Amino acid sequence: MKIRFSIPIKAISNNIFYSGIHGWKRQSIAESWRQMIDCILGEQNDKNLIKLKFPVDITITAFCRGRILDSDNVCAKIIIDGIKNNGWIIPDDDIRYVRKVTTQAVKSQEDSVEVIMG
């Protein structure tokens, strides 16, 4: 089984998220992403129907309207922590549950982030 969902917001760059932002601001950004992901997953999936076979591979695609992020600069951690935070899709993000994370960035008409797990 695969789970696919989209986050209707511009992807965060590792450069911006980890360089020069105060810790409380970084924490605030991470919390807003966690809440958004939890809301999206709660709307799209029934907790009782999600049965992933672990470990999963996760692909994160940043769709960029303006300047395209470097593929290695798409901040996967904030997204995976948001998925892990709800606890009913993946219990943790260690090697027992997440085998591989792939990030990519593509040009698009709208900013968004797509996540595929399976």
Return the top range by mean pLDDT from 3-12, 23-32, 34-43, 100-109: 100-109
Please write the tens of the pLDDT for every residue from 22-61: 888 889 999 999 999 988 887 665 555 567 899 999 999 9
Distance CA 50, CA 27 (A): 28
Q: Structure tokens of 118?
A: 């399976």
Q: Domain-by-domain residue ranges, the chain?
A: 3-117
Question: Which CATH code of 1.10.8.590, 3.40.50.300, 3.30.1330.70, 1.50.10.20 fits the domain covering 3-117?
Answer: 3.30.1330.70
